[in-house]
Amino acid sequence: DVKVTQSSRYLVKRTGEKVFLECVQDMDHENMFWYRQDPGLGLRLIYFSYDVKMKEKGDIPEGYSVSREKKERFSLILESASTNQTSMYLCASSSTGTGFQPQHFGDGTRLSIL
């Protein structure tokens, strides 16, 4: 089975800190994604990557950056954390293959910024 592992289930940080959220997948998938999930707003795409060192902005990239130095790892960076970035963060991966390729999600990191 595909496994997408997020480094922390819960994380508490302070305003202004630089925060790193890590995600690792074990299926050699080309595509990786970062979403945030807030009550009443569903899943919103922050950034995605379709190859090592490649990245594209999603719908809400402001205040975030990403890094993909290795195929299996995709990091989300909050450069200077703010309270409005308190949220659930979900990582996903998918293959670029013929036909349908579903996204596989991790279990999320619940981040609180104090």
Binding site for another protein (CB under 8 A): 4, 31, 33, 35, 40-45, 48, 50, 56, 58, 90, 92, 94, 96, 100, 102-108
Query: Measured from the CB atom, is 10 or 84 closer to another protein?
Result: 10
Query: Measured from the CB atom, is 81 or 105 closer to another protein?
Result: 105
Q: What distance in Å separates the CA atoms of residue 46 and residue 32, rounded to the nearest whole number?
A: 11
Q: Are 93 and 35 in contact (CB under 8 A)?
A: no
Residue 78: CB minimum distance to another protein, A: 20
Query: Measured from the CB atom, is 17 or 86 closer to another protein?
Result: 86
Residue 107: CB minimum distance to another protein, A: 5
Positive or negative, the Cα torsion across 29, 31, 32, 35?
negative
Residue 70: CB minimum distance to another protein, A: 19
Residue 61: CB minimum distance to another protein, A: 13
Q: What distance in Å separates the CA atoms of residue 27 and residue 11, rounded to the nearest whole number?
A: 26
Query: Measured from the CB atom, is 28 or 107 closer to another protein?
Result: 107
Q: What distance in Å separates the CA atoms of residue 45 and residue 34, rounded to the nearest whole number?
A: 6
Q: Are 34 and 91 in contact (CB under 8 A)?
A: yes
Q: Which helix (H) or strand (E) holds 113?
A: strand 109-113
